[in-house]
Amino acid sequence: ITRKNKNVSIKIRTNLKQTLWGGDKIIPFKHLNSDLKGVGESWGDSGVEDNESVVANGPDKGLTLADMVRRYREELVGEANYARFGNKFPLLIKFIDAKQDLSIQVHPADDLAKKRHNSMGKTEMWYVVDADKGAKLRSGFSEQITPKEYKERVYNGTFADVLQTCAIKPGDVFYVPAGRVTWNRCGSFVAEIQQSDITYRIFDYNRKDRDGKSRELHTSQAIDAINFADVQDDFRTEYEQVQNEPVEMVASPYFTTSIYDMTEEITCDYSELDSFVIFICVEGACRLTDDNRNEITMCAGETVLLPASTQEVTIVPEGERVKLLETYV
């Protein structure tokens, strides 16, 4: 990662997770040779304990992302990020394939997550990669309710009635701050960028796990996390859709994310950025070459982590078109 090591960009090994609600889109999307069924999640860059990403290339192949942060510190994540987060990598990247509805859930903000779990909170964003006909997401409230009404509606099974429902299509973006109640409906396939993996399940359709046990609910814990005033008509994030230049979609204290819809070469200057950069390929394939002439290829479903010491990268589409999400802190 240092200058003498030529700023090696990091590709992460695939980490697939079978879930009760998982589908069959992730494996072909990522061009994997696997017979796994019901894959609901593919984890990319992760420093989550017991789920740390593993480096798949270069001189540090086999190390976890947590090992990399401890070893390279500011050179990997940036000076301000290392001062802010220490040895904890501040983002988690996933692909989610919901063949069935996910649980209705909410995520805590930093202060509550720190108090209860000694962790960062979970603000996240979704980029819709694919969506079946009629697929929907529920995000936020369609009308304001009180904590008392929340308890009553969870008990009598009508809580979903006060959540905002949005029909989705590929390219839709949703920014989901901590405290917003969410629900990924069946047929949604999304890329997620998030702080952590802390989730409070509010309702799970009385489903049983593989051992025949009901999954744990966090109905009471969720009350302190929910933003009951979070009411809007449409929770989608609007952005300009243009080609061959970065388009910023989300700018927040937790991450900034842009989309690159490319049919031609682009060079990115990171000389003034004090952060790592993650590229997430959501369509097509490309080749990345950094300022020390290190070259790496990526295709749909893969992520590449550029260390904060990277000054410049040139991206060349392989084929007619590539779409990338670029995110940093």
Q: Count CB atoms within 10 A of the CB of residue 271.
A: 8
- The Cα–Cα gap between 1 and 71 comes to 10
**Catalytic residue among 116, 153, 201, 236, which?**
201
Asked if 215 is an active-site residue, the reply is: no
Both tokens assigned to 110:
């930093």
User: CA of 35: how far to CAs of 18, 38, 323, in Å?
Assistant: 12, 10, 27
Per-residue DSSP letter, 160:
G
Instruction: Kindly give the pairing relationship between strand 312-317 and strand 285-290.
Output: antiparallel
Q: Please name the residue that has the structure tokens 């079946």.
A: 132
Which residues does 252 contact at the CB level (< 8 Å), separation at least 6? 123, 175, 177
- The Cα–Cα gap between 47 and 45 comes to 7
Largest distance between two CA atoms of the chain: 63
Per-residue DSSP letter, 6:
T
First-residue to last-residue Cα distance in the chain? 18
Q: Count CB atoms within 10 A of the CB of residue 12.
A: 21
Q: DSSP characters for 197-246?
A: ---EEEE-TT-B-TTSPBPP--HHHHHTT--TT-B-S--BPP----SSS-
3-state secondary structure 250-294: EECCCCEEEEEEECCCEEEECCCCCCCEEEEEEECEEEEEECCCC
Q: Would you name the residues annotated as active-site residues?
A: 201
